[in-house]
């Protein structure tokens, strides 16, 4: 089947789902730009991506590919990989004639797999997490995990992208409607301070991914992409603060680099000296001390002096 025909059928699935292409990309756990390029014909869908699209859209992989015998669309029951062995002949189904509904996790199986992977990475570290552990956490089989993510590298990439998207979404939701640049910068600092269990878990994942980025070209590229975006967000806030007269006339990009580096360094100290969320009594290294140090840095280096 021609690539543009596959793309056309994927568009039908997206339309039937009643969501935007960006939201559909989130559900199948790929970068929105990859989905866009595939829909435009400049990139081919991978076998794993087609498996996830079929699962979320409740259609057969065979229908997406235009074959007369579709691949089984229930990986948990079938126990086969997307690129794996023989398929079972079954009637071709389209989005207008979906298969009978099967109970599935909120957001679909791929998103559940990624969420559980992130949770386990936070608890144990990436290299201590086995596919069997992820399958057990999802109450499914290892074959189902491989159906959606054939390789460990692809699963890690999906986990990194999900963390990036969730972090960006939380910041956007929390700062929506904030007009005062000083307030927005302090709110961003608060969101990066690992006070809560959720934030600590997020930071544990980031620390593990930093180490992986030093060894993996793919993760390193994603790491660089995320940090360009994060520093750009901070720089934009500082630049707006300079225009508002809230901050001194500083080099916004340089100030953002210094502040984000300080956030990373202090957060790693907090996690190292408060294992499991406990305060081990090391002076000046707790979450509140981190927050105080960051706000003091903003006051000393960025905040414009007020006229007497």
Write b or e for each residue in 213-223: b if 16 or more Cβ atoms lie within 10 A of its Cβ, otherwise e.
beebeebeebb
Q: To the nearest whole percent, how much of the chain has pLDDT over 70?
A: 82
Helix, coil or strand: residue 80: coil
Averaged pLDDT for residues 124-146: 89
Judge whether residue 298 has pLDDT over 60: yes
Q: How confident is the model at residue 73 (pLDDT cuts 50, 70, 90)?
A: very low
Q: How confident is the model at residue 280 (pLDDT cuts 50, 70, 90)?
A: very low
Judge whether residue 275 has pLDDT over 80: no
Averaged pLDDT for residues 147-163: 83
Write b or e for each residue in 185-211: b if 16 or more Cβ atoms lie within 10 A of its Cβ, otherwise e.
bbbbbeebbbbeeebbbbbbbbbbbee
Rg of the chain, C-alpha, whole Å: 23
Asked whether 182 and 241 are in contact (CB, 8 A), the reply is yes
Q: How confident is the model at residue 256 (pLDDT cuts 50, 70, 90)?
A: very high
Q: How confident is the model at residue 91 (pLDDT cuts 50, 70, 90)?
A: very low
Distance of alpha carbon 123 from alpha carbon 114, whole angstroms: 14
Asked whether 256 and 238 are in contact (CB, 8 A), the reply is yes
pLDDT at 79 (0 to 100): 43
pLDDT at 241 (0 to 100): 96
Judge whether residue 103 has pLDDT over 60: no
Question: Average pLDDT, whole number, for the chain?
Answer: 81
pTM of the model: 0.70
pLDDT tens digit sequence for 196-248: 888 898 898 888 888 888 887 777 888 888 899 999 999 999 999 999 999 99
Averaged pLDDT for residues 29-53: 86
pLDDT at 283 (0 to 100): 55
Asked whether 75 and 51 are in contact (CB, 8 A), the reply is yes
């Amino acid at each position: 089947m021609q690539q543009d025909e596959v793309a056309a059928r994927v568009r039908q699935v997206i339309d039937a789902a009643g969501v935007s292409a960006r939201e559909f990309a989130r559900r199948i756990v790929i970068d929105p730009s990859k989905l866009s390029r595939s829909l435009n014909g400049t990139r081919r869908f991978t076998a794993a991506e087609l498996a996830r699209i079929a699962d979320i859209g409740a259609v057969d992989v065979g229908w997406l590919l235009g074959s007369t015998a579709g691949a089984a669309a229930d990986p948990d029951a079938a126990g086969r990989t997307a690129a794996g062995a023989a398929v079972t002949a079954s009637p071709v189904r389209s989005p207008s004639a979906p298969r009978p509904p099967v109970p599935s996790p909120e957001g679909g199986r791929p998103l559940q797999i990624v969420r559980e992977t992130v949770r386990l990475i936070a608890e144990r570290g990436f290299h201590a997490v086995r596919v069997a552990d992820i399958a057990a956490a999802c109450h499914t089989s290892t074959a189902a995990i491989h159906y959606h993510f054939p390789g460990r590298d692809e699963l890690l990439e999906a986990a990194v992208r999900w963390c990036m998207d969730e972090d960006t979404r939380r910041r956007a939701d929390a700062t929506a409607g904030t007009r005062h640049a000083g307030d927005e910068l302090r709110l961003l600092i608060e969101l990066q301070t690992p006070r809560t269990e959720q934030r600590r878990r997020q930071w544990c994942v980031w620390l593990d991914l930093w180490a992986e980025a030093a060894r993996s070209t793919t993760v390193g590229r994603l790491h660089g992409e995320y940090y360009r975006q994060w520093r750009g967000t901070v720089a934009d806030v500082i630049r707006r603060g300079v225009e508002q007269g809230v901050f001194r006339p500083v080099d916004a990009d340089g100030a953002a680099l210094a502040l984000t580096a300080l956030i990373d360094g202090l957060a790693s100290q907090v996690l190292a000296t408060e294992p499991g969320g406990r305060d081990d009594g090391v002076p000046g290294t707790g979450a509140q001390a981190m927050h105080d140090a960051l706000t003091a840095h903003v006051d000393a280096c960025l905040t414009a002096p007020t006229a007497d």
